[in-house]
């Protein structure tokens, strides 16, 4: 399995590539920016949160420990889109209850772009894990 630094480097390369592609093709700047923000969120909300030793910071580790107990390593947590949604639901359930209870409106277009970036980041993570495993098995 690639270590954290390798995954982080992959996210940085993908973000720079997305930014360059976006500028080159004349995509909306804020759309590209929010998508890249989602990609960088993948540094902290990584599929490897299913392993306790892969979290960053004491509070973050404490917060994600139950998630690691619920999902075995490289199971659903390492499935593109579905794994991302498990982490969104896990981290967002209590804020969602508060938001619904207080009738707060959210900028859904921005949140969906950030989610897209996070899904892309997680998909890259899974691809890097699978390539690493494939290389070790050969
Ligand atoms: Zn992984």
Averaged confidence pLDDT in the chain? 93
- From ligand 1's centre to the CA of 123, what distance in Å? 10
pLDDT tens, position by position, 75-101: 999 999 999 999 999 999 999 999 999
- From ligand 1's centre to the CA of 78, what distance in Å? 6
DSSP 64-118: HHHHHHHS-TTSGGGSTTHHHHHHHHHHHHHHHHHHHHTT----HHHHHHHHHHH
- From ligand 1's centre to the CA of 109, what distance in Å? 28
Secondary structure class of 28 (helix, strand, coil): coil
Instruction: Flag whether pLDDT at 13 surpasses 80.
Output: yes
What is the model's pLDDT at position 133?
92
If you average pLDDT over residues 103-126, what whole number do you get? Answer: 96
- From ligand 1's centre to the CA of 91, what distance in Å? 19
- From ligand 1's centre to the CA of 108, what distance in Å? 28
Neighbours of ion ligand 1 (CB under 5 A): 47-48, 129
The full set of domain ranges for the chain reads 4-131
- From ligand 1's centre to the CA of 124, what distance in Å? 10
pLDDT tens, position by position, 19-52: 999 999 999 999 999 999 999 999 999 999 998 7
pTM for this structure? 0.90
């Amino acid at each position: 399995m690639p270590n954290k630094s390798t995954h982080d480097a992959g996210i940085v390369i993908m973000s720079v590539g997305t930014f360059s592609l976006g500028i080159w093709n004349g995509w909306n700047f804020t759309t590209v920016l929010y998508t890249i923000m989602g990609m960088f969120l993948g540094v902290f909300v990584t599929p490897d949160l299913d392993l306790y030793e892969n979290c960053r910071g004491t509070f973050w580790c404490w917060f994600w420990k139950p998630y690691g107990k619920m999902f075995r390593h490289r199971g659903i947590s390492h499935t593109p889109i579905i794994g991302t949604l498990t982490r969104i639901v896990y981290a967002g359930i209590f804020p969602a209850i508060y938001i619904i209870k207080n009738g707060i409106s959210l900028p859904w277009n921005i949140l969906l772009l950030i989610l897209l970036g996070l899904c892309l980041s997680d998909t890259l993570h899974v691809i890097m894990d699978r390539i690493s495993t494939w290389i070790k098995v050969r």
